[in-house]
Amino acid sequence: MKKLALPAFNADYTVHTCAAGITIPDRAQALTGALPVINAAESQYLGLAPLGELFKIQSTDGVTPLLTTALMGVIYKSHFVRSAATRALYDAIRSAPAHQICPLCGQRIVGSVDHYLPQTLHPAFNLTPANLVPSCLDCNKAKLAKVATKAEEQTFHPYFDDLGTERWLMVQVQPTSPPAIVFWVRPSAAWTAVLAQRVQHHFNVVGLAVLYAAQAASELADISYGLTEIGKASGPQAVREHLHDEFKSRDARDPNSWKTALYEGLRDSDWFCQFGYLHIEAKP
Ligand SMILES: [Zn+2]
């Protein structure tokens, strides 16, 4: 759940650029004719988004009488995404995250652009940069069926929501064989109650607990041999110190990546540092 800079261009620019590339006159005119509506909608969006109140925007049946929801969908899919001039804008949005990592899950590779307010209900925002968020395909799909009707049902918006740098992603290490890693959200003291509910909602909708648990299990399998060697040579305290170093390295880059949370949890688990690391590999 990483914050991103808002794209440096607005809806007026994307609409003009898109319309210039449409060779069907009626279609281009329907789009440019809707500019006052699209611009006014963008202003409302930019006013509500920093307050976490986008759920207040009413869904609409079409943009204008000439620019229906279906036509706006075609314009996005067949013109904005495909024509050379607007494809550059689309690619700029899609390639914004560092290392192409999805800002919604922090794990998978960006594979699409997600409409934060969905196209089917909010066609006036189909080409509005503030509503276009880079996303992996799984996060995009997971969000599809979810429509927020109140503040706490809104998922994380990378352009407007800032979770800060305080640690909030935590793990519980369960003393099983192999060890199970349970990820959970500990709300930051800096968050409002609604933001805490939204982060938990996002966590559930995108399925982050399951995603991170699978990644953590794979990471444990990767480090099993090394920890066993350290434990054999120097004992549990050396295992803990090694895990602490691994935690510090990941924390320096991102205090709330699943790896940071994992290494912190492993370091702080007496059971893991003493015995748990010997249980990573399933015994035949
Ligand atoms: Zn994702």
Could you read off the pLDDT of 46-65 as tens digits, one per residue?
999 999 999 999 999 999 99
What pLDDT, in 10s, does the model give residues 149-194?
A: 999 999 999 999 999 999 999 999 999 999 999 999 999 999 999 9
pLDDT of residue 85: 87
Which sequence spans correspond to the domains of the chain?
Answer: 11-153, 169-279
Q: How far is the CA of 135 from the centre of ligand 1 (A)?
A: 5
Centroid of ligand 1 to alpha carbon of 39 (angstroms): 29
- pLDDT for 224 equals 96
Decide if pLDDT at 145 tops 70. Answer: no
- Ligand 1 centroid to Cα of residue 271, in Å, is 32
Output the CA torsion 39→40→43→47 (10° steps).
-160
Pairwise CA distance, residues 144 & 157, whole Å? 15
Neighbours of 47 (CB within 10 A): 11
pLDDT above 70 covers a percentage of the chain that reads 99
Ligand 1 centroid from CA 109, angstroms: 7
Q: How remote is the CA of residue 97 from the centroid of ligand 1, in Å?
A: 11
Contact between 135 and 110 (Cβ < 8 Å): yes
- Looking at the predicted structure, is the pLDDT value of residue 146 above 80? no
Which residue in the block uniquely carries the two structure tokens 């688990």?
Answer: 269
The whole-number pLDDT of residue 143 equals 85
CA distances from 14 to 85, 174, 227, 261 (A): 9, 50, 53, 40
Average pLDDT for residues 6-35, to the nearest whole number?
97
Q: What is the pLDDT of residues 234-255, one digit of tens each?
A: 999 999 999 999 999 999 999 9
Output the pLDDT for position 260.
98
For helices 258-268 and 208-234, give the axis angle rounded to 10 degrees: 40
**What average pLDDT does the structure give for the chain?**
95
| 120 confidence band (pLDDT: 50, 70, 90) | very high
User: How remote is the CA of residue 59 from the centroid of ligand 1, in Å?
Assistant: 25
Asked whether the predicted pLDDT for residue 279 surpasses 90, the reply is yes
How far is the centre of ligand 1, averaged over its atoms, from the C-alpha of 236 (Å)?
Answer: 36
Q: What is the mean pLDDT of residues 90-118?
A: 96
Q: What is the mean pLDDT of residues 25-39?
A: 97
- The predicted-structure confidence for 83-103, as pLDDT tens digits, reads as follows 998 999 999 999 999 999 999
Q: What is the pLDDT of residue 284?
A: 44
Residues lining ligand 1 (ion), CB within 5 A?
102, 104-105, 108, 136, 139
Which tokens belong to 1?
A: 């759940």
Distance CA 213, CA 204 (A): 13
